[in-house]
Amino acid sequence: MNIEIKGLTKVYPNGHAAIRNIDLEIGSGMFGLLGPNGAGKSSFMRTLVTVQQASSGTILINGMDINKQRQKIRPLIGYLPQDFTFFTKLKTWEFLDYAARLGTSLKKKDRNVKVDQLLDQVGLLDVRERMANKLSGGMKRRLGIAQALIGNPQLLVIDEPTTGLDPEERIRFRNILSDLSQKDVTIILSTHIVGDISSTCEHMAMLNKGEVAFKGSPEGMINQVRGHVWEVTLDDEAFFELKSKFPVVSTIPVDGKWEVELIANEKPHPDADHANPNLEHAYVYFMENELGVSLV
């Protein structure tokens, strides 16, 4: 799968430009789209999966123009929107069977096999008879992945999949995506949760106010923050003073003091030492220094 995006812009009737002049190339594997709420990620996704049309710009998927060959492109795409919903009066397997009837030409016997294969793949086979609206939040998101996969898509587009999930379900969900990315499926994962990107994606872009603020690898983004991440142990007075001046990424109370990691362009305290950066540090650094968004 190869996706070329050039000059992509979406302006809504009220004049709001949700995405502006986006240029990206996306290949195989898992691609992360990171950014704060309101950055334009969902508008980008909805345009990419043909739910809405761009105001200008082009998207080529395997060389096909999304504006001219939508009917050929749509069967290649599986989509899990942020506001995924389903019919509440259907059992788990019935909902997936309904999705298969809508999205495939499989006969009943083959649909039954496909439904159980997908339920097993996402860890829902043992609850196939449960009413879909009785599933936990994490199970509902996994059911969403199963319906997105029902047509054997080459491109899987997933919008904010782990929002509201507990840590165990987030890890389970990320592991499912990692397994899928090894099976010739291109996955685009949109999220504002940094851990979802750092643990799964080899390539990424960061959006802010509808524009691309960074594109490259997570490691490339991390490299740009090296030398700007500090760690120091402070008493209450020093901690609250530094907290008012610099963006603090983490704080851990230890023996009446605070072990602190923070972002600063220069040494923020005489006892501070450089810390090894991660993608969360890089995200905070970009928000503060590249995008001018104060997190203090």
CA–CA separation, 46 and 25 (whole Å): 17
* pLDDT-above-70 percentage for the chain: 97
CA–CA separation, 133 and 87 (whole Å): 8
Q: Is the pLDDT of residue 128 over 90?
A: yes
pLDDT at residue 230, as a whole number? 97
In sequence order, which residues have a C-beta less than 8 Å from that of residue 237 and are 6 or more positions away? none
Mean pLDDT computed over 278-283: 92
pLDDT band of residue 200 (cuts 50, 70, 90) is confident
Q: What is the mean pLDDT of the chain?
A: 91
CA–CA separation, 81 and 73 (whole Å): 18
Would residue 62 be called left, alpha or beta, if left means φ above 0 and alpha means ψ between -120 and 50 degrees? Answer: left
pLDDT digits (tens, 9 = 90+) for 96-126: 999 999 889 899 999 999 999 999 999 999 9
pLDDT digits (tens, 9 = 90+) for 58-92: 999 999 999 999 999 999 999 998 887 766 789 99
* pLDDT-above-90 percentage for the chain: 70
CA–CA separation, 125 and 112 (whole Å): 12
pTM of the model: 0.87
In the 8-state DSSP scheme, what is residue 201?
A: -
pLDDT digits (tens, 9 = 90+) for 8-65: 999 999 999 999 999 999 998 999 999 888 899 999 999 999 999 999 999 999 999 9
CA trace torsion 99, 101, 107, 112 (10° rounding): 30
Mean pLDDT computed over 226-238: 95
Name beta bridge partners: 231.
261, 273
Kindly list the strands in the beta sheet with 203-208, ordered across the sheet, starting from the edge strand earlier in the chain.
77-80, 155-159, 186-191, 30-34, 203-208, 211-216
Torsion sign (Cα): 35, 39, 41, 44: negative
pLDDT at residue 296, as a whole number? 53
Mean pLDDT computed over 196-220: 91
Location of structure tokens 């704080």? 251
pLDDT at residue 97, as a whole number? 94
Instruction: Determine which helix (DSSP H) or strand (DSSP E) holds 109, and give its type and residue range.
Output: helix 108-121
Q: Is the pLDDT of residue 141 over 80?
A: yes
Location of structure tokens 């508008």? 43
Torsion sign (Cα): 89, 94, 100, 102: negative
Intervals of CATH 3.40.50.300 along the chain = 3-222
pLDDT at residue 25, as a whole number? 96
Write down the CATH superfamily of domain 3-222. P-loop containing nucleotide triphosphate hydrolases (3.40.50.300)
Contact 162, 174 (CB under 8 A): yes
